[in-house]
Amino acid sequence: MKIGFFDSGIGGLTVLSEALKRLPNHEYLYYADTQHAPYGPKPKEEVREYVFKAIEFLVNEGCQIIVIACNTATSIAVSELRQKYSIPIIGMEPAVKPAIESVENSTKRVLVTATPLTLKEEKLKQLIQRLDKHHQTDLLPLPDLVRFAESYEFSDEAILPYLKQCLQSFDISAYGAVVLGCTHFPLFSHHFEKIFSSEVRLIDGSSGTVSHLEKLILAQKVEPCFNASLTFYRSSKKLESSQEIEPFTKILKQLKAI
């Protein structure tokens, strides 16, 4: 099975890492649209154009399933892409459901963090409205986390002051769950852990997305591939040299996927 993963940058590696651990025997193509990242602050129509171009590239490369490992891209384009293409296209959305379920029998609240564009989308607002019967959810855009990740900046000295500044108007002790609603954000899990209590659950959508992928593969009764491979692209340019690939593999090693 040839499976395409797409993100604006390196954030989708958090989802790909879960797939590599659970479903290793496949051909994976990872497309990072670093030429246009970050998506979050950009106009919706501009981002949609980038997403459609990337998915068309992966389809032309022969991908039989595509995972849009980007919450922002999913929120603005996945419905139209599914109408255009006959192959399965799996999207990401902030893991609001498990987060709300984790606090529903308490007075604790849920904090949904994501990019500004994801938080503005009607799809997310409707999801929260449908699930959050007790109005326990707050939203927080954290656009600079994407910028930090794409610059491979993960130092406490840079990240912790930023998070503390963004959270200064929030009562940290009020939360029982924090949704990492951008695929870049799990790369900063240990920073969130330094700010929130150990009792606070950090929840992202990677596991659920890969479970969906696994079901689709099983339904198609695909034979395991014993020549499993992983190919990287930066905005349609195939990466050939170890120097070009190293930033991606470094992240995957940190996530214990390779």
Tell me which residues are annotated as active site: 70, 182
Strands 175-180 and 89-90: unpaired
Mention every residue, 6+ apart, whose C-beta is less than 8 A from residue 230.
20, 28, 30, 258
Compute φ and ψ for 158, nearest 5 degrees: -90, -45
**Identity of residue 125:** K
Q: Is 63 exposed, middle or buried (0-12, 13-18, 19+ CB in 10 A)?
A: buried
What H or E segment, with its residue span, contains residue 53? helix 44-60
Whole-number Å distance between alpha carbons of 71 and 234: 19
The answer to whether 110 touches 135, Cβ cutoff 8 Å, is no
